[in-house]
Amino acid sequence: MRDSKHIVVYHQGRYFKVWLYHDGRLLKPREMEQQMQRILDNTSEPQPGEARLAALTAGDRVPWARCRQAYFGRGKNKQSLDAVEKAAFFVTLDETEQGYRTEDPDTSMDSYAKSLLHGQCYDRWFDKSFTFVVFKNGKIGINAEHSWADAPIMAHLWEYVMATDSRQLGYAEDGHCKGDTNPNIPYPTRLQWDIPEECQEVIETSLNTANLLANDVDFHSFPFVAFGKGIIKKCRTSPDAFVQLALQLAHYKDKWHHVVIASYCFKVKVWEAVPLKQER
């Protein structure tokens, strides 16, 4: 398998292909910033059906499979779809502002979490292994497709990214990435689509399906500052096991506390990483 040499960026309904290499080397941070700025400065309009195209990856799988076969098997649509699917990862430059706000901790975290989970249901490519979502106020997060890896993989990736960004790369005093721009690097290229009205109708149907699912998600997130993993480890307990027990207890209190059971024996299935399961 060859390493991918490009990413695909979604911004205001347009898809851009961005090369990660120039003159045989990876782009430097300031050069990558330059490419993102070029996308932000691009004023072109989305092509018909382009803006909500990714809703096909959010709805039912059968309509998406049929659309692939009927409309994305040849020509410019096939080339553009190949660019998306062969990209190292997907990036969304989101026009909303998200993140934790001390004056409104609960609502801000709920909005942040739901945005990363599904966004507008057409601005994340849900078939990609992961999508970096960069918000207008500089906050960033990840939407990951689960079949290829468990959560710790993305956690390790994110830890590496954050550590490298803060401890090795850094920023100049004016807020830009350190280094210089490079005018010789080609501009990001717009992906070209020819999406007929029949396919656009399927896109809208898929979007409606996805919106129903997204609106049915009740996601409440909040910062927990009473204690952390350090205290749990001092109690000779695994932090992961502690959380799993908390989930079991919460389920019991929610579903079973009002029922008198002479012989109490039931099991609640909770999340378990595949590597842990294989070790048993």
Please list the pLDDT of the chain residue by residue as tens digits (280 residues). 578 999 999 999 999 999 999 999 999 999 999 999 999 999 999 999 999 999 999 999 999 999 999 999 999 999 999 999 999 999 999 999 999 888 888 889 999 999 999 999 999 999 999 999 999 999 999 999 888 888 889 989 999 999 999 899 999 999 999 999 999 999 999 999 999 999 999 999 999 999 999 999 888 888 888 999 999 999 999 988 898 888 888 888 887 655 544 444 455 555 555 555 555 5
Report d(CA 141, CA 254) in Å as an integer. Answer: 31
- Give the per-residue pLDDT at 78: 97
Task: Please state the pTM of the whole predicted model.
Answer: 0.86
- Give the per-residue pLDDT at 263: 43
Residue 121 · residue 214 · CB < 8 Å? yes
- Give the per-residue pLDDT at 260: 47
- Give the per-residue pLDDT at 240: 86
Report d(CA 192, CA 87) in Å as an integer. Answer: 16
- Give the per-residue pLDDT at 56: 98
- Give the per-residue pLDDT at 277: 55
Domain boundaries, the chain: 4-214, 223-279
Chain-centroid distance of CA 185 in Å reads 27
Report d(CA 17, CA 189) in Å as an integer. Answer: 5
Q: Which residues are catalytic?
A: 146
Report d(CA 72, CA 77) in Å as an integer. Answer: 5
Chain-centroid distance of CA 20 in Å reads 19
Residue 237 · residue 230 · CB < 8 Å? no
Q: How many CB atoms lie within 10 A of CB 61?
A: 11
Report d(CA 257, CA 232) in Å as an integer. Answer: 26
Label each residue of the chain as H, E or C: CCCCCEEEEEECCEEEEEECEECCEECCHHHHHHHHHHHHHCCCCCCCCCCCHHHHHCCCHHHHHHHHHHHCCCHHHHHHHHHHHCCCCEEEECCCCCCCCCCCHHHHHHHHHHHHHHCCCCCCCCCCCEEEEECCCCCEEEEECCCCCCHHHHHHHHHHHHHHHHHHHCECCCCCECCCCCCCCCCCEECCCCCCHHHHHHHHHHHHHHHHHHHCCCCCCCCCCCCCHHHHHHCCCCHHHHHHHHHHHHHHHHHCCCCCCCCCCCCCCCCCCHHHHHHC
Superfamily of domain 4-214: Choline/Carnitine o-acyltransferase, domain 2 (3.30.559.70)
Residue 95's closest CA among 14, 31, 168, 171?
A: 14
Q: Phi then psi for 57, rounded to 5 degrees?
A: -85, -5
- Give the per-residue pLDDT at 264: 46
